[in-house]
Structure 1
């Protein structure tokens, strides 16, 4: 059996009303950011993401019991410190993107460290 609608339809004799009209407070309005502020916010976000990636690589290696070499530990600490201090970890624009925080080789080394930690995880899973 199909649902039958009333032939008359559903109507309201009075429309919906509120007791007071809604007022918009000016404190809730947000000014749009200037392009310079947007660029600064993007740089801060990229720096924070880079620092999180470096710390995550170190934490994953420690959790998996993978021993990082002395050089790798110094690399992570040094790059983290430079990103916090200067906003990027390299000075020569030919070595990486102008708006990037890591050079191409630093990014590759970070990937190698994360792969090393992942291999330690894979060994634990196989056993």
Structure 2
């Protein structure tokens, strides 16, 4: 019986990123279901399509400029996944743009 040659470090990192992305997608959906949070149609479709592309192609984006080498999700896909996971946990969505609220003045006394 022949053994498979060990994966190259790059290939092992790519496979690990693929597993991590699939687990994060499943975790976000499962958390939303347990918490009773209804995801929008777009969010459900996003989780399904990204998961399918990661399973089929090993990553969810076609243009190498959109993501880091060896990663399964692009930067924007990762951001959207974090937003969906936060919504599933019931956390308040973070503001992405805009001015910060002014900090309280320091009392000199």
What is the TM-score when the length of structure 1 is the normalising length? 0.63
Give the superposition deviation at 1:38: 2.8
Structure 1: segments with no counterpart, 5+ residues: 1-31, 121-127
Root mean square deviation of aligned Cα? 1.6
Give the equivalent residue in structure 2 for 1:113: 84
Partner of 2:98: none
Q: How many residues align?
A: 87
Q: TM-score, normalised by structure 2?
A: 0.73
Deviation, structure 1 residue 100: 1.1
Structure with max Cα Rg: 1
Q: CA deviation at 1:41?
A: 2.1
Higher RCO structure (Cα 8 Å, ≥6 apart): 2
Question: How far apart are residue 37 of structure 1 and its match?
Answer: 2.7
Matched-pair contact (CA < 8 Å) for 2:10–2:70: no
Moved over 3 A (4+): none
